[in-house]
Amino acid sequence: MIRPLGPGMVQQIQQRCSNCTGSGSMVPPSDVCGTCKGKGLVAEKKTFEVTIEPGMKQGSKIVLRGEAGCSEPGLQPGDVILMVQQKDHEYFKRVNVDLIMEKKITLTEALCGTAVHVQHLDGRVLRMANPPGEVIKPDTFKCIAEEGMPFHGRPFQKGNLYIHFQVVFPDRVDPKIVPALQQALPMQHLDNGLSMDVDDVDGTHEVHKLKSVPDIEAELRSRGKLGRESTAYDSDDDDDMPRGQRVQCAQS
């Protein structure tokens, strides 16, 4: 706008257009859309179904392409990115593709053998038999192969399940039975009816052999690469960076 101020003097002013409000275009009132009121955008609520694939871990991304909407007409809609947050379990602890669980047993079970039933994450009941004569020492680990977490992208391949045994000792022993314990324990004549043959069961539950794990930290470190290999199936922008290239210094 040019406004005269006096003889030979004018003032030039710029202001937002009152018709299009600076957008550069306008719609006649007769053609205004009744849904968006001429704004070209409308708010909408959507419900998405998201599938958590077996083996997904903390921080895995789920991308919904073009579902984020847009802020201005004509712009490409953005993406909705969901981050997986892993919830702690009451009994199982996840370490990469392996699982660790704590199991308390009595001193009698540790010395005489025991059969332990554990309900797995998928609802199956695992029957673990420790035969008579094989003592479970306090703070030791046993392993059930391929009963851990599935690999992401390879659900039929699984990690291991490690059981951390804690032996609960009695608060006191009746002095009258101490001589009997002293006589019985060195002889190792202990039997609670369990069979060494793990196939000799009623067939109602799965039976697994327990393998001793002398050093759980070394075991998990050696298996850490399995968890890293599973990340190859997760998309990550950082993986697009080239590797193995070195910067060459300029020669003067």
Instruction: Report how far residue 219's alpha carbon sits from residue 179's, in angstroms, rounded to the nearest whole number.
Output: 41
Per DSSP, helices labelled H in 58-215 are: 107-112, 178-184
Q: Are 162 and 100 in contact (CB under 8 A)?
A: yes
Residue 189 has pLDDT above 70, yes or no: no
Instruction: Report how far residue 138's alpha carbon sits from residue 136's, in angstroms, rounded to the nearest whole number.
Output: 7
Sign of CA dihedral 90, 92, 96, 97: negative
Domains of the chain: 47-86 (no CATH), 92-230 (2.60.260.20)
In the chain, the N- to C-terminal Cα span, in Å, equals: 62
Instruction: Report how far residue 238's alpha carbon sits from residue 244's, in angstroms, rounded to the nearest whole number.
Output: 15
For residue range 143-169, list pLDDT tens digits in order: 999 999 999 988 889 999 999 999 999
Give the model's pLDDT for residue 195.
47
φ and ψ at residue 55, rounded to 5 degrees: 90, -5
Give the model's pLDDT for residue 62.
93
The whole-number average pLDDT for the span 93-106 is 93
Between 37 and 105, residue with greater pLDDT:
105
Q: What is the dihedral of CA 229, 234, 235, 240, to 10 degrees?
A: -10
